[in-house]
Amino acid sequence: MPKSELIISENLYKSFGDNHALIDFSLSVKQGEISGIVGPDGAGKTTAMRILSTVSLPDKGSLYINGINALSDYRGARKSIGYMSQKFGLYIDMSVEENINFFADLQGVPKSELDDRKKMLLTASGMYQFRSRLAGRLSGGMKQKLALCCALIHEPKILILDEPTNGVDPVSRREFWQILNRFASDGTAIVYATSYLDEAERCNTINLMNKGSIIAGGHLKYLQSLPEIEVLEVKGEKVRNIMNQIPAKYGKVWSFGSVLHVHAPHDRNYAESLKQALNNNYEVNVIPPSLEDIFTYLTYKGDNNE
């Protein structure tokens, strides 16, 4: 049976004065799908998340949440949504369990189901032993996991997360994703905004966002097929010192940590030629484009076409 689309947004626009925060934003997310929105600060991710969660209204466009027109019936749409904003928004003078109970009450969770749901979430997040601790005394990663538990306590069909793991330690981030994958496997549609490209690769579909628009979207393999380039990886001692020595004909040169990536013209077979141009002092290999290569290439190409 085909999975239904729980989120359908089309041609959303949002401006704040002269700042066009969202431009022609369209997104659809199916049951059980984790759809990532990745982009730098200021790309429009938070504006998109606020509109998708019905916290904010667009200037124009359409949005359907679980079959409900969210722009005309936002209260009805919200019943299907769990939303987690960037900032920790829970009550610091209440315990972990009290916070969850409070949000369960707000969402109308049946008393007969609350204890089982709560225990499942607290156990899955590694928070069960801290259920009596005040929220204000939790670490950053634990606060985010508590916020996720509160967003999930009413078992929403749709979960919208705005950069939930910023500043979170690797162990907490892994536990966070274990919870997400569990709910996705049960059919929850998840929209996950992040600035971390490695996190975006965990998503089923990836939407690259820049300057208020989605510049490309799809599965990772599809995105890897988009750049009309061959990526040459240059390795060697103090390789960053030779960035300006690589002739322009080989393409745009980018520093990627301890290596260089050259976005060379496609089908030119420049690897051996570049190695010789560098007097064989550096290792040059053709590699598949990473998500960072794809985003860098498409953004740079778009900026130069404006």
Sign of CA dihedral 117, 123, 125, 127: positive
At residue 214, the 3 state secondary structure works out as strand
pTM: 0.90
Residue 3 pLDDT greater than 80, yes or no: no
Q: What is the pLDDT of residue 167?
A: 77
Binned at pLDDT 50, 70 and 90, residue 153 comes out as very high
pLDDT by residue (tens digit) across 159-215? 999 999 887 888 888 888 999 999 999 999 999 999 888 899 999 999 999 999 999
Tell me what pLDDT residue 306 has. Answer: 58
Q: At residue 1, does pLDDT exceed 50? A: no
Cα separation, 66 vs 54, in Å, equals 13
Rounded Cα distance between 124 and 237, Å, is 45
CA gap 253, 264 in Å, rounded:
9
DSSP 5-45: EEEEEEEEEEEETTEEEEEEEEEEEETT-EEEEE--TTSSH
**Share in percent of the chain as helix, strand, coil (round to 5):** 35, 30, 35
Structure tokens at 194: 């992040």
The residues that bridge with 9 in the sheet, in sequence order, are 27, 63
Contact 210, 39 (CB under 8 A): yes
Which residues contact residue 140 at a Cβ distance below 8 angstroms, ignoring those fewer than 6 apart? Answer: 167, 168, 169
Query: Is residue 83 scored above 70 in pLDDT?
Result: yes
Model pLDDT for residues 266-277, shown as the tens digit of each residue:
888 999 999 999
Q: Is the pLDDT of residue 109 over 90?
A: yes
Band of pLDDT at residue 2, cut at 50, 70 and 90: low
pLDDT for res 90 = 86
CB 14 within 8 A of CB 56: yes
